Amino acid sequence: MSKHIGILTAGGDSPGLNAAIRGIGKAALRKDMQVTGFLDGFRGLTENRSIRLDKKALSGILTVGGTILGTSRMKPHKMLMGGRTRDMTDTIVENYNRHHLDCLICLGGGGTMKNAYRLHQKGLNVLSLPKTIDNDVWATDRTFGFDTAIGIATEAIDRLHSTAHSHHRIIVVEVMGHNTGWLALGAGIAGGADVILIPEIAYDVQKVADAILRRVRRGSHFSIVAISEGAMNKQLSPRFHAAEQRKHAAREAMDKEAKAAASAELDIIEQERKGHTLRVSNQLEELTGLESRVTILGHVQRGGTPSAADRLLASKLGTAAAELVEQGTYGVLVADRGDSYEAVPLEQAVGRRKVVPLDHPWIATARRIGTCLGDK
Ligand code: F6P
């Protein structure tokens, strides 16, 4: 009997999602499989809202941004239903069986992968595909969405240069990336930012001001500071890393109380971090005597048509996922590996975040150019 695949997209949307859906669908239809898309992430699977992904539905979506299936950040075990948070895992299992699915393919980032793994532990056949503009999914070379976002952020930095230069100003540009600096570092180098601040390297605002003043002494009266939304100063960074370690240890020890305490501390830190871009801009004005402005790139980095590289990656991983279903390989992340792909068991990939290693070539590149990373 032919196989039946379910697909959902969860978490923040990302350019390339439709290319991946198309890749899975087209490859599956050629093998006489049936494909159903569930709407709005795990919520649609819970509420049994779906569409048939036939040839017509898959046509013309390769270049379209967002996701034709809609998305949400709802988790199966913590779903907001009628104003209450409920564990809807059993309903999801029922709906999976009602549709006689052979596999559920979840397109998302680290959180989605964790949710897919939970369903796998409940006996469902699942696959996970790595999408996010943050590029922070463990065990994959790249995530789709990242290349498009880096292009958008780079173009924005390019454009900020001429206005910063004309007005002899500092412009502090905030780049997305959650708790990792891939996007700010990549776009910062490609766009020629003078300072790049990322979560992996705690910054000292005085050091940033010194770097800007050195530029002034050399005759450059403007500076572009690319700052990750997750960047932290020397005071906040050690607290964040300590709380993250406590949370990880509590999860391993299955200590719910300690995990809740560490999560609460992380929430407090998140609150303290809010508005940091404007604070850095104000501090730099004070310390350098130059005028400073803030640009927050925000969701523009996630919108619109995917780059060619993202279409290619999403198509590669999508078609690979259909191949894995045909083989009956489940419970894996379909990871990008060089020109090919690798099926990485979910238990090896969940609960880990791929941060920028301090010895990464991009960091060395930035330092060799003379870009200030906020620590020296
Ligand atoms: O994970 C993608 C991402 O765009 C992050 O870079 C950002 O921190 C977050 O999503 C924003 O989430 P939301 O769209 O829910 O505000």
Give the tens place of pLDDT for each residue, 21-31.
Answer: 999 999 999 99
Distance 212 CA to ligand 1 centre (A): 30
d(CA 144, CA 133): 7
Sketch out the chain's domains with CATH numbers.
4-144+306-338 (3.40.50.450), 150-302+357-368 (3.40.50.460)
pLDDT of 272 higher than 80 = yes
Q: Measured from the CB, is residue 15 less than 6 Å from ligand 1?
A: no
Q: How many CB atoms lie within 10 A of CB 8?
A: 29
Residues in the chain: 376
**Residue 17: predicted pLDDT:** 98
| Ligand 1 centre distance from Cα of residue 66 (Å) | 13
> Is there an atom of ligand 1 within 6 Å of 373 CB?
no
- C-alpha distances (whole Å) from 134 to each of 6, 116, 244, 274 are 25, 19, 18, 18
* The residue to which tokens 């949370």 are assigned: 247
- What's the rounded Cα separation, in Å, for the pair 14 and 135? 11
pLDDT classification of 335: cutoffs 50, 70, 90:
very high
The CB-side HSE value for 282 (13 A sphere, CA atoms) comes to: 5
Which among 223, 284, 246, 24 is positioned nearest to 129, based on CA atoms?
Answer: 24
What confidence score (pLDDT) does residue 82 get?
Answer: 86
- Look at residue 1 and tell me whether its pLDDT is greater than 90: no
**Residue 266: closest CA among 153, 353, 172, 175:** 353
- If you measure from the C-alpha of residue 231 to the centroid of ligand 1, how many angstroms do you get, rounded to a whole number? 15
| Residues linked to residue 137 through DSSP beta bridges, in sequence order | 353
Please give the model's pTM, rounded to 2 decimal places.
0.96
pLDDT per residue over 114-127, tens digit each? Answer: 999 999 999 999 99
Residue range 229-241: average pLDDT?
A: 97
Among 134, 143, 183, 276, residue to substitute to test ligand 1 (most atoms within 8 Å of Cβ): 134
* pLDDT at residue 282 tops 90: yes
Tokens encoding 177: 């990336």
**Cα 297 to middle of ligand 1, angstroms:** 12
Catalytic residues: 134
Average pLDDT over residues 215-235: 97
Q: Is the C-beta atom of 118 inside 6 A of ligand 1?
A: no
CA angle 330, 118, 67 (to 5 degrees): 75
